[in-house]
Amino acid sequence: MRKIKVLKKILSANDRAARELRGIFSEKNVFALNLMSSPGSGKTSLLEKTIPSLMPSIRSGIIEGDITTSVDARRLSFFDAPVVSINTMPFGGQCHLEAAWIYEAFEQMNSNDFEILFIENIGNLVCPAEFDTGSHKNAVIISVTEGEDKPLKYPLAFRESDIMVINKCDLIDVLDFDLPALIKNARKINPGIEFLTVSARSGEGIDKWVGWLRKEYDILSGGGND
């Protein structure tokens, strides 16, 4: 028996595709944001509130990941924003999006039609965290109907995220949700993570979220003098 050293990253093909894609997004002046969360945290509802609030100065494009169905893509198709749906069923029902699939979806869009590309990942906090999507930043959405201990249970998703958006904050009082404990847990995993509390239902906090998105787009496009 002979041992041969290989020393290759298993995900190197995805990492390469993601790096290339990030370069393309930057070159086209599109700020790409990957949204990760558990199912039902309100990613699509958040986008329904966000897209009109960014208009008209910032237009959105959406890549919508789902294992099956295009329900979410249909919900977002009422806005004047291009939506491309990726169903992972043909790829074995995968629970995450990969850079190559996002590349293909992005090629179906006209990048002159939007300034921010939202990549709505599959609702799952484990798998998407392992696969670089090519986005500039990652956001993790968590709702107050979930536990305060989510960051400790799914550390990689919180470690990889730049911002934590805490949704359904209008329900905090009914639920006895311990917001400081959630923030403390998230900071234990990722000391630098930013956070915002919002309600996609009542609209509370959406202005701050939109402000964060505008700031990130300005940074990418060179201080907002585009």
Partner 1 sequence: MHELSIAEKLISELELSFSRRELNKIERINVKISEYSGVVPESLDLAFSALKGETLLKKSSLDIDIVPVKLNCRSCGSIMRADSLPVLICSGCGSNEVDIDGEVEMMIDSVEVYD
Residues that bind partner 1 (CB under 8 A): 1-14, 91-92, 94-96, 98, 126-127, 129-131, 152, 154-156, 159, 187-189, 191
Alpha-carbon distance 223 to 226, whole Å? 8
The residue among 156 and 172 lying less far from partner 1, judged by its C-beta, is: 156
**Cβ of residue 10: shortest distance to partner 1, in angstroms?**
4
The residue among 67 and 84 lying less far from partner 1, judged by its C-beta, is: 67
Edge to edge, the sheet with strand 116-120 lists 83-87, 60-66, 116-120, 31-37, 137-143, 163-167, 194-197
The residue among 60 and 135 lying less far from partner 1, judged by its C-beta, is: 135
The residue among 16 and 137 lying less far from partner 1, judged by its C-beta, is: 16
- Among residues 162, 166, 149, the alpha carbon closest in space to that of 193 is found at 162
**Cβ of residue 192: shortest distance to partner 1, in angstroms?**
9
Token pair of 21 as six digits:
């894609």
**Cβ of residue 117: shortest distance to partner 1, in angstroms?**
23
**Cβ of residue 148: shortest distance to partner 1, in angstroms?**
14
DSSP state, residue 30: -
Alpha-carbon distance 106 to 101, whole Å? 9
